[in-house]
Structure 1
Amino acid sequence: MVQIRRNILRASFLSGLVLFLFGCSSYNDMIASYYKQISAGNYAEAVKELDKNKLLQKPRNKLLFLMEKGKASHLSGDFETSNQYFNEADQLLENGMGGAMDAVVGTLVNPMTQRYKGEDFEKFMIHYYKALNYVYLNKTEDAIVEARRITLQSQEQGDKFNDKDNRYSKDAFSLMLQGLIYEHDGDVNNAFIAYRNSVEVYLKSKDQTYYGIKMPEALKRDVLRMADYNGFTAELSRFEDLFSMKYSRTQVPEGGELIFFWENGMAPIKQQEELFFSLIKGSNGDLFFTNLGGTIVIPFYHEYSNSNFSLNGVESLRATYPKYVARSPYYSSATLSNGEQTISFEKAEDINELAFKTLDQRFMKEMGKVLTRLAVKKSAEYVLRQSAKGSGKDGKNNSLLEGLGVGMQLYSLLSEKADTRNWQSLPANISYTRIPLQKGSNTITLKLKSASGADETKTIEITGTGKLQFYNYSTLR
């Protein structure tokens, strides 16, 4: 019996050691070689790193793999292949992620072992890249379909929360993009509706600022212009009053206009944070968790418990939770010139801000689930240890049950791991501007300025066709 107990303890220790060593590495650490290549602009090498990365080949990480492949293919200019990956990612999301078994795995081990379901803003960004891919492939009808799906995504997202909740339920940038695509197609009525919907998101938020983004002046001009094109005089007057702007009709440039998206920096990474809580019974008998300082109070989620749950043995709990760590972009500002005028960019989407705030919004609910899961595990450990006392031969402790109890305790401690996965090749933020084109050849110059004051320029050639065109440029540093 003594030997059996030793073997159990040895096995438990080795299993725990493996889990501990695995747990020390964040998702970012485990795919660092891919991000090194993509941030350096070596897109072909980045794709190779993706294909040979064993972690991303696992079924639970398929969505991440598809989004990264789609992004890498987009950056390399292979728009057809890019949309093949993004369409597969879209289909994966539509079919539903997870299920009962996936939830069980997450409960018994940790959230990192579950299927990655994507952050809400990541799902909107799939539409952004897909729509641009279709525009670049001259598949306008497909781009329009993608634009319409932005509305459906917004409705699905909105259904998740009550109106009273100040949650990320619509993406103002995606709605603005939708308007631009409709305008590109000459559908001025739907363009106006989309621009108006984007504006309304800002108007309903505090100080007309939505997740770190002040309502762009360009968006104000767009909704005024589309109201005028459609002959919506009442709407035009309403928005003129709201914006304190007087609209003046101007002639469309002969060569059309270019919408230039500047994708700067890289999205924040997730790291693991450790928090300590105690399970306490309130005066009315309800259970709740509180941290050491008593600044956080989280209810006990009974649906994750069972009839055998006991407060005995549940004292302090070590919980892990992801935290975002921002990466400062190398470039701090940029301007765009067509040779006659130089125009500044306006920030339209702040992935950094979205990431931090949306994670904070769900902290209480998700931490409640984590803590309840840990409490249930601790309760089970206690039951095993108590069962071992005096249940062996001659009233001695049962070595097998005692060893299992110790092994379960070690496993619970070392298997606890926060989910540090996210779509990390997204930009930190997206800025945009609209610049007029002349008929025929145009030389457009992007001037970038780093935080240290160093300048860098990129020149692109655009043929003015009289229509609205798109171009996006990434500085993933």
Structure 2
Amino acid sequence: MLRSLVFCVCLMLAGCSTISFNNLFNDYASEVAPIRSAIKNNNLNKAQQLISKRAHGHANYLLNLLEQARLADLNNDSQQAKALYERIYQQVQLDNQSAKLQLSTAVEQSNALLTNDSSIAYTPPRYEMSMLHSYKALNYIYDNNLEAALVEIRRANQVQKKALQDNQTQINETQTLAQSHYPAMDELIGNIKNGFQNAFTYYLSALLYQANKQYDDAYIDYKKALEIMPNNQFIQQDLQRLAKRQNFDIDFPVDQQSAKQISELPPEQGEVIIILEQGLVPSQVEFKIRLPINTSSGDARFYSLALPAYNDMPYSTTLNNLMIDQQPLQFSPLVNIESLAAKTLKDEMPSKLSRQLLRLYSKEKLREEIARSAGNVGNIIANIYNLASEQADTRSWNTLPNKISVARYPLTPGIHSLNIINQSKINFSVSKQGLTLIYLTSINHYFNYHVVKL
């Protein structure tokens, strides 16, 4: 009986080679919580020390690199951030092109039937890859390398273009029942159409094209940004001004009242563009659903499904009262990343439910086999293992910001100051017909900024 019990336990743990025992029995959101806390307390060095380094082949390898890259960004280590972002991009490209991936993915999916979804190698969703390229582009902007920044922004736009071709997954009756108990997250998701289109990326792209005097390309991407965020007054005004400049017919919705106030910028003026990112995207939480499932003996028993979800509480702005030369600024949102994350998770739920239901059946079969081989002791151990390993896969890029907004104003050439309550004023210069970008990051007690002339 002992040999049978040992064999069965080894079988249960055979799928854990790509993750640690800590990852198997503890959710990712809990693991990264101390890192998020260190960021909020403006202790970036501690945050970088706390993050565990994962070797290639570990299920969390790419996610770990994403977190490291973002921490390097926040700690003003541009070179390290760019190197990590590029490593992630190259690995994702390699995985997509590798024929071996199909076999390894099949093995991971099989392993997950005896463990949980955390044993499946993490693949960054489309909105995370779009943000990766956007951040890498920003690092090139800080280095005054506009050409390299444009390469990254094209990659970001390509991610969104490909995502539009994805198809919906079909679900069966059992999945439908489970999904009916799953949180809707409607407040968090809002009115976005999908979990990958990002007006921030398109706006940044348009801004770079405009700085490079590629006005037709800038017009196209401003228009894409407006399709995603139709009420953003700054995108509206930028698009209308470019339409006038290029003699394009206005074929996009605009607010008629604001349209009357928009005129060509005086040739002697320049512009300041302030992009403000705030907070941290929320962590996923575990949500449990109890469903009646028929066992092999025909008995109906209730089983718990552990699924990831987001608390349906939208982020509220904490940084207010920004002024340029005593003139109050008004920001307009570009993207709520929490909405993209929640919509992405909701769209992935059919496939997650499929694996979860298969896992229930597989673990129940294994429990019955162990009970037959090792008696009551085996049955108890199997039940304990099943309960302990039933953890929701709460993995996501946890160091992303929550919300990104923009403000854009014409200014006379010369030195100006941006005043923020509880922060030192930021002096910046504006040149005739020039574009000055100020990128702000505010996460509780952490605050950082970059000023660059495009």
TM-score by length of 1: 0.75
SS for the counterpart of 2:363 is: helix
Correspondence for 1:192: 219
Match of 1:112, as an amino acid? S
Checking the alignment, whether the CA contact within 8 Å between 2:279 and 2:401 is kept in structure 1 is yes
Correspondence for 1:75: 74
Q: Distance in 2 between matches of 1:368 and 1:158?
A: 23
Correspondence for 1:63: 62
Give the Å deviation of 1:142.
Answer: 0.8
Q: Structure 1 regions of 5+ residues with no counterpart? A: 203-207, 209-214, 281-308, 389-398, 448-455
Correspondence for 1:49: 50
Correspondence for 1:224: 240
Checking the alignment, whether the CA contact within 8 Å between 2:417 and 2:426 is kept in structure 1 is yes
Checking the alignment, whether the CA contact within 8 Å between 1:240 and 1:246 is kept in structure 2 is no
Q: 1:107 to 1:262 in 2, by over 3 A?
A: same
Which structure would you say has the larger Rg?
1
Give the Å deviation of 1:414.
Answer: 2.2
SS for the counterpart of 2:130 is: helix
Q: Distance in 1 between matches of 2:146 and 2:12?
A: 59
Checking the alignment, whether the CA contact within 8 Å between 1:445 and 1:459 is kept in structure 2 is yes
Most deviating of 223-232 and 255-264: 255-264
Give the Å deviation of 1:277.
Answer: 0.9
Q: Does 2:302 correspond to 1:275? A: no
Give the Å deviation of 1:122.
Answer: 1.6
Match of 2:362, as an amino acid? V
Query: Please, which of 189, 204, 207 is the counterpart of residue 180 of structure 1?
Result: 207
Give the Å deviation of 1:437.
Answer: 3.9
Give the Å deviation of 1:47.
Answer: 2.2
Checking the alignment, whether the CA contact within 8 Å between 2:112 and 2:359 is kept in structure 1 is no
Most deviating of 22-31 and 133-142: 22-31
Query: Please, which of 105, 109, 113 is the counterpart of residue 107 of structure 1?
Result: 113
SS for the counterpart of 1:123 is: helix
Q: 1:135 to 1:435 in 2, by over 3 A?
A: same
Q: 1:380 to 1:23 in 2, by over 3 A?
A: closer
Give the Å deviation of 1:87.
Answer: 1.1
Q: 1:340 to 1:316 in 2, by over 3 A?
A: closer
SS for the counterpart of 1:31 is: helix
Most deviating of 415-424 and 58-67: 58-67
SS for the counterpart of 2:325 is: coil
Checking the alignment, whether the CA contact within 8 Å between 2:54 and 2:64 is kept in structure 1 is no
Give the Å deviation of 1:137.
Answer: 0.6
Q: Distance in 2 between matches of 1:56 and 1:5?
A: 33
Correspondence for 1:259: 273
What CA RMSD, in Å, does the superposition of the two structures yield over aligned residues?
A: 3.6
- C-alpha offsets along residues 183-216 of structure 1, whole Å, 9 cap, x if unaligned? 12221110001111222345xxxxx5xxxxxx31
- C-alpha offsets along residues 208-237 of structure 1, whole Å, 9 cap, x if unaligned? 5xxxxxx311111111111111111x2x26
Q: Does 2:425 correspond to 1:459? A: yes
Q: 1:250 to 1:370 in 2, by over 3 A?
A: same
SS for the counterpart of 2:284 is: strand
TM-score by length of 2: 0.78
Correspondence for 1:38: 39
Q: Distance in 1 between matches of 2:9 and 2:202?
A: 57
Correspondence for 2:351: 365
Q: 1:23 to 1:137 in 2, by over 3 A?
A: same
Q: Distance in 1 between matches of 2:365 and 2:127?
A: 37
Match of 2:395, as an amino acid? R
Match of 2:263, as an amino acid? R
Q: Distance in 2 between matches of 1:166 and 1:381?
A: 43
Give the Å deviation of 1:446.
Answer: 2.9
Give the Å deviation of 1:118.
Answer: 2.1
Checking the alignment, whether the CA contact within 8 Å between 2:234 and 2:407 is kept in structure 1 is yes
1:136-175 equivalences in 2 (<5 Å): 136-161=142-167, 167-175=194-202
Give the Å deviation of 1:139.
Answer: 0.8
Q: Distance in 1 between matches of 2:423 and 2:315?
A: 17
Correspondence for 1:351: 337
Correspondence for 1:89: 88
Give the Å deviation of 1:57.
Answer: 8.4
Q: 1:458 to 1:105 in 2, by over 3 A?
A: farther
Q: Distance in 1 between matches of 2:288 and 2:134?
A: 35
- C-alpha offsets along residues 425-464 of structure 1, whole Å, 9 cap, x if unaligned? 11121111113344343222234xxxxxxxx344112122
SS for the counterpart of 2:260 is: coil
Q: Percent identity?
A: 24
Checking the alignment, whether the CA contact within 8 Å between 2:130 and 2:157 is kept in structure 1 is no
Correspondence for 2:175: none
Give the Å deviation of 1:400.
Answer: 3.6
Most deviating of 327-336 and 344-353: 327-336
Q: 1:162 to 1:361 in 2, by over 3 A?
A: closer
Checking the alignment, whether the CA contact within 8 Å between 1:264 and 1:429 is kept in structure 2 is yes
Checking the alignment, whether the CA contact within 8 Å between 1:255 and 1:440 is kept in structure 2 is no
Q: Distance in 2 between matches of 1:7 and 1:112?
A: 24
- C-alpha offsets along residues 137-192 of structure 1, whole Å, 9 cap, x if unaligned? 111001111121122111221111369x9533522332222111211222111000
SS for the counterpart of 1:196 is: helix
Q: Structure 2 regions of 5+ residues with no counterpart? A: 15-19, 170-191, 445-454
Q: Distance in 2 between matches of 1:9 and 1:257?
A: 68
Give the Å deviation of 1:103.
Answer: 2.0
Checking the alignment, whether the CA contact within 8 Å between 2:310 and 2:342 is kept in structure 1 is yes
Query: Please, which of 410, 413, 429 is the counterpart of residue 439 of structure 1?
Result: 413
Q: Distance in 2 between matches of 1:340 and 1:9?
A: 71
SS for the counterpart of 2:82 is: helix
Q: 1:103 to 1:352 in 2, by over 3 A?
A: same
Checking the alignment, whether the CA contact within 8 Å between 2:69 and 2:80 is kept in structure 1 is yes
Match of 2:343, as an amino acid? K
Q: Distance in 2 between matches of 1:263 and 1:429?
A: 6
1:201-350 equivalences in 2 (<5 Å): 201-202=228-229, 208=230, 215-232=231-248, 234=249, 236=250, 239-240=253-254, 245-246=259-260, 248-252=262-266, 254=268, 256-279=270-293, 310=296, 312=298, 315-325=301-311, 332-339=318-325, 341-350=327-336
Q: 1:80 to 1:438 in 2, by over 3 A?
A: farther
Q: Distance in 2 between matches of 1:319 and 1:147?
A: 40
The count of aligned residue pairs is 410
Correspondence for 1:452: none
Give the Å deviation of 1:80.
Answer: 2.2
